[in-house]
């Protein structure tokens, strides 16, 4: 990505945070304070979705700071200059024919005018503006008043805008968003700006955004924007943990209420048929469920993804009125435990046979797309995949909801990808990384599908500062959630990895016969076996092959197999699988192919319209490797004694 910043170095420094010191801060990601419940309608809560076409303007001015200098948020965006239509949710990069926008770095501006129902403007009611995510740094105004700022591109943030909209009930609610996609050594993921100062080769003040990760740095409002209401005294957060025996399960809950200290709480746990199976009251307690239906992974039980529904009712007195708030939280009852050789779900060994993914598709980039989401889950189940890693950032809550419902197991990864520079291991980066983990766990802590946290992907774990960095990061994550194991995904040699001592599960990426010894499939058995044995001998921890794979161009064939052909991709998989089959009898607990589907990257001499390691094309059509993996995954599932007869018969159709 390249751009010209006529403001010079000083102008470039303003790319990320221009003039914010002059703008009263109304919030930000200084720490995960309060709850972040997913917006759900209830008898006490209403929801208004703001997806659709927004007004949009990229700031191409010197230093990218004109929007702040001229205070574009003070008036309708169309009055500041030319605007275009922009879909939300979507990345802005591929929507137009303008190459300058496709590769734009800096501030862009979005605006939407909304009419609110009159009943939303009454006393004792909160109106909240919530963003599922926006990449990367966001500042939000409502009717010209700043309400929130947030750092990070993959997690939700919100603001209470009640006082603003209730003070001007007759005018539309004008929502303005300034969004900056610049990455620095201290963002997550990190990046750096490089100036090209050779005037014989580059224009004045020419710069590029350098990144150390292999996917396109799409930007925009990527997930749903909603307005929702609650009473002025409301349920702010719910935390649930579960334990179980064969006959009884315990659902431990904690509820926080904001707006008053005088309230009452009642709780009802219902099964999928709507029957009440347990009740409780008060802000904390334990619900006991007799003969529980446990949450099981896909292909591990005839009824995977079983969820109960915890209805929480709050009543409070405020301003001489009786207020009631109701929120229903899906709950899966399951346990997770790690031994030196196994990963146990509900006390039974679980083997990860799944994929790595990306939120990526034609035109919309990383924007949420329901048709694509449902298609992907249909392909996952067709494939016989029981799991995936959210490589390399938290995925949309809507995707996570379906993982819970379908029984797809998730390794939930934060955006800690591309941590390669020494300055990205300093205290400034670490403090932000800790906040990101707080936000991620706050969002996903109640999800039964999430069985492990991943705090990074392929960091430079051999660097001396990595030891303190990951010791602190893993300890912080475990303190936030003691119920789940923690890992990070490494490509560092086992002998020099300074972060591995602190994780519960070893996750290793390797590309033998691709990035190493390219074209030599015969080296895979020796090198992959040595990899597993060295890691296990050193750490005595279970191992997941968290990435492996080869690029293949759809329709390119070669026999004998040559690199980039569909035959080579198949042959590489089979070489890896032969080693997996030996080591999964010992301590290898999973295999995740890279990648589920082809995806876009920066341009480069090794990338032809993106990364082609998908077993499906970017348009979700299968390559030959998809059928190899499907046959393997269903056979592995068929070996499980937990697989019901109806699913065992599926193997007959392969």
Q: What is the CATH number of the domain that holds 519?
A: 3.20.20.80
Specify whether 342 is located in the same domain as 314: no
The single residue of 151, 439, 458, 566 carrying the catalytic annotation is 458
Does a structural domain hold residue 363?
A: yes
Q: How many Å apart are CA 192 and CA 207, to the nearest integer?
A: 10
The b/e string for 178-197 (b: 16+ C-beta within 10 A; e otherwise) is bbbbbbbbbbbbbbbbeeee
Does a structural domain hold residue 417?
A: yes
Q: Which residues lie below 8 Å from residue 615, measured CB to CB, with a gap of 6+? A: 355, 383, 569, 593, 595, 596, 597, 622, 623, 625, 626, 629
Pick from 500, 481, 401, 472: which is nearest to 438 by CA?
A: 481
Q: How many Å apart are CA 150 and CA 133, to the nearest integer?
A: 10
Specify whether 246 is located in the same domain as 374: no
Does a structural domain hold residue 652?
A: no
Torsion from C-alpha of 93, 95, 101, 104, nearest 10 degrees: -10
Quote the pLDDT of residue 214. Answer: 87
SS3 502: helix
Is-catalytic flag, 458? yes
Specify whether 507 is located in the same domain as 554: yes
Give pLDDT tens digits for 37-76. Answer: 999 999 999 999 999 999 999 999 978 999 999 999 999 9
Helices (H), 142-200: 162-167
Number of domains in the chain: 3
331, 359, 394 — which closes off a domain? 331
Specify whether 301 is located in the same domain as 344: no
Q: Are strands 486-490 and 450-457 parallel, antiparallel or unpaired?
A: parallel
Give pLDDT tens digits for 253-282. Answer: 999 999 999 999 999 999 999 999 999 999
Specify whether 247 is located in the same domain as 382: no
Torsion from C-alpha of 628, 632, 638, 642, nearest 10 degrees: -130
302, 331, 360 — which closes off a domain? 331
Quote the pLDDT of residue 31. Answer: 63
pTM of the model as a whole? 0.94
Quote the pLDDT of residue 640. Answer: 76
Cis peptide upstream of residue 295 (ω within 30 degrees of 0): no
For 533-649, where are the E strands, in sequence order? 543-547, 588-593
Q: Is 650 exposed, middle or buried (0-12, 13-18, 19+ CB in 10 A)?
A: middle
Q: Are 600 and 580 in contact (CB under 8 A)?
A: no
Quote the pLDDT of residue 643. Answer: 58
Does a structural domain hold residue 29?
A: no
Cis peptide upstream of residue 89 (ω within 30 degrees of 0): yes
| Token output for 645 | 């007869």
Q: Would you give the DSSP letter of residue 116?
A: P
Q: Is 81 exposed, middle or buried (0-12, 13-18, 19+ CB in 10 A)?
A: middle
Q: Are 302 and 293 in contact (CB under 8 A)?
A: no
Specify which residues 176 forms β-bridges with: 111, 141
Q: Write out the residue range of the structural domain in which residue 154 sits.
A: 46-181+217-230
Quote the pLDDT of residue 487. Answer: 98
| Token output for 255 | 């509820």
Q: Are 323 and 397 in contact (CB under 8 A)?
A: no
Quote the pLDDT of residue 642. Answer: 58
Quote the pLDDT of residue 2. Answer: 46
| Residues of the chain under the 70 pLDDT cut | 1-31, 641-654
Specify whether 446 is located in the same domain as 570: yes
Specify whether 257 is located in the same domain as 115: no
Q: In the predicted model, what is the mean pLDDT of the chain?
A: 93
Specify whether 357 is located in the same domain as 293: no
291, 307, 331 — which closes off a domain? 331
Q: How many Å apart are CA 243 and CA 632, to the nearest integer?
A: 33
Give pLDDT tens digits for 559-571. Answer: 999 999 999 999 9
């Amino acid at each position: 990505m390249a751009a010209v910043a006529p403001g010079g170095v000083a102008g470039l420094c303003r790319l990320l945070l221009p003039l914010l010191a002059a703008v009263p801060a109304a919030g930000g990601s200084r720490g995960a304070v309060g709850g972040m419940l997913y917006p759900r309608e209830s008898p006490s809560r209403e929801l208004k979705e703001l997806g659709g076409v927004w007004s949009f303007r990229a700031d191409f001015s010197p230093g990218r700071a004109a929007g702040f200098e001229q205070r574009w948020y003070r008036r309708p965006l169309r009055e500041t200059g030319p605007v275009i239509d922009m879909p939300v949710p979507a990345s802005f990069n591929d929507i137009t024919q303008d190459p300058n926008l496709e590769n734009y770095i800096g501030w862009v501006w979005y605006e939407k005018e909304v009419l609110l129902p009159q009943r939303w403007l009454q006393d004792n009611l909160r109106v909240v503006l919530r963003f599922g995510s926006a990449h990367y740094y966001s500042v939000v105004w409502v009717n010209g008043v700043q309400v929130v700022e947030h750092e990070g591109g993959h997690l939700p943030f919100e603001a209470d805008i009640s006082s603003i909209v209730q003070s001007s009930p007759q005018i539309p609610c004008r929502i303005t968003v300034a969004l900056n996609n610049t990455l620095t050594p201290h963002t997550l993921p990190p990046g750096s700006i490089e100036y090209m100062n050779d005037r014989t080769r580059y224009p004045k003040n020419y710069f590029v955004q350098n990144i150390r990760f292999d996917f396109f740095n799409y930007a925009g409002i990527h997930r749903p924007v909603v307005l929702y209401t609650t009473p002025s005294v409301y349920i702010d957060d719910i935390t649930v943990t579960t334990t179980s025996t064969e006959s009884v399960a315990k659902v431990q809950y904690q509820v926080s209420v904001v707006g008053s200290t005088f309230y009452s709480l009642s709780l009802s746990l219902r099964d999928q048929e709507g029957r009440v199976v347990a009740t409780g009251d008060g802000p904390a307690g334990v619900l006991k469920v007799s003969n529980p239906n446990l949450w099981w992974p896909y292909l591990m039980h005839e009824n995977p993804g079983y969820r109960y529904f915890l209805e929480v009712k709050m009543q409070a007195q405020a301003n001489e009125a009786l207020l009631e708030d109701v929120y229903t939280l899906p709950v899966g009852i399951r346990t997770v435990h790690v031994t030196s050789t196994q990963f146990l779900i509900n006390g039974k060994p679980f083997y990860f046979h799944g994929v790595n993914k990306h939120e990526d598709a034609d035109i919309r980039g990383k924007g949420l797309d329901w048709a694509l989401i449902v298609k992907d889950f249909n392909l996952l189940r067709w494939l016989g995949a029981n799991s995936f890693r959210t490589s390399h950032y938290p995925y949309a809550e809507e995707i996570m909801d379906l993982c819970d419902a379908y029984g797809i197991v998730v390794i939930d990864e934060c955006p800690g990808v591309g941590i390669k520079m020494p300055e990205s291991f300093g205290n400034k980066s670490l403090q932000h990384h800790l906040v990101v983990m707080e936000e991620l766990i706050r969002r996903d802590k109640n999800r039964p599908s999430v069985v492990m946290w991943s705090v990074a992907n392929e960091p430079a774990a051999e660097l001396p500062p990595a030891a303190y960095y990951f010791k602190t990061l893993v300890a912080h994550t475990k303190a936030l959630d003691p119920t789940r194991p923690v890992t990070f995904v490494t490509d560092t040699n086992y002998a020099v990895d300074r972060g591995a001592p602190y994780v519960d599960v070893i996750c290793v990426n390797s590309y033998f016969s691709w990035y190493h010894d390219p074209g030599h499939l015969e080296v895979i058995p020796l090198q992959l076996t040595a990899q597993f044995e060295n890691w296990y001998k050193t750490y005595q921890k279970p191992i997941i092959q968290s990435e492996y794979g080869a690029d293949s161009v759809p329709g390119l064939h070669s026999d004998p197999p040559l690199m980039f052909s569909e035959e080579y991709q198949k042959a590489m998989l089979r070489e890896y699988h032969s080693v997996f089959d030996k080591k999964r009898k010992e301590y290898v607990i999973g295999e995740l192919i890279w990648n589920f589907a082809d995806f876009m990257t920066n341009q480069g001499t090794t990338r032809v319209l993106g990364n082609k390691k998908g077993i499906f094309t970017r348009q979700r059509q299968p390559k030959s490797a998809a059928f190899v993996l499907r046959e393997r995954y269903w056979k592995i599932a068929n070996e499980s004694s937990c697989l019901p007869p109806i699913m065992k018969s599926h193997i007959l159709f392969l």
